[in-house]
Amino acid sequence: MSSLRVLISEEQIQTRVREMGAEIDRDYPNGSLHLVCILKGACFFMTDLARSLRRETYVDFMGISSYGKSKTTSGEVKVTKDLDFSVEGADLLIVEDIVDSGVTLTYLIHLLEQRKPRSIRIAALLDKPDRRLRPVQVSYVGFRIPDEFVVGYGLDYAERYRNLRDICILENP
């Protein structure tokens, strides 16, 4: 039987996302910020983060697939939807749900750097540092979590559980 155990509550998430927004606002002294939301998991986090920013903010989406239905990385990354806007000269903030092996973000940063933005930083709601295979610098981390498989607030297991309000550990999926 699979079961869900709350790891981070809705209230904790909302408080932390507002703090992250304030921190990001402080760090970028002026100008607009382009959020690059990684589909699909990060879009729940992105909409809350975007609304906590007080500066001019643009949002765009990028589809990346690396996992398929399995729980571990295949090491293969594919762009399934590209950005709508040009990012040349822009301050980009990649918004990701969770950094696990780091394979996805390493690939994405390499890809986006070729488009000559002014800056690229990463905001990730969750970080599982124990699982890192590729080093990535994440400027804004919501929560560091242990090596457990989590779902909710955008995160899925085989496309299920994204709509849960809390982040939960999924046992015996």
Which residues carry out catalysis? Answer: 100
Query: Site for ligand IMP (CB under 6 A): how many residues?
Result: 17
Please pick, from the candidates 24, 104, 138, 140, the single residue that binds ligand IMP as defined by CB under 6 A.
104
73 binds, among Mg ion, ligand IMP, none (CB under 5 to 8 A by kind): ligand IMP
Residues lying near Mg ion in the complex (CB under 5 A): 41
Q: What does the DSSP 8-state code read for residue 25?
A: H
In the list ligand IMP, Mg ion, none, the entry touching 48 (Cβ below 5 to 8 angstroms by class) is none
Residue 142 touches which of ligand IMP, Mg ion, none (CB < 5 to 8 A by kind)?
none
Please give the Cα distance from 80 to 69 (Å, whole number).
15
The whole-angstrom separation of Cα 152 and Cα 162 is: 5
How many residues comprise the chain? 173
Residues facing 120 on adjacent strands: 92
For residue 64, the minimal CB distance to ligand IMP (Å) is 8
Residue numbers 140-159 binding ligand IMP by CB under 6 A: 149-151, 155
- Give the Cα separation of 170 and 3 in Å (integer): 6
User: Pick from 129, 131, 150, 127: which is nearest to 140 by CA?
Assistant: 127
The residues binding ligand IMP (CB under 6 A) are 41, 66-67, 73, 96-104, 149-151, 155
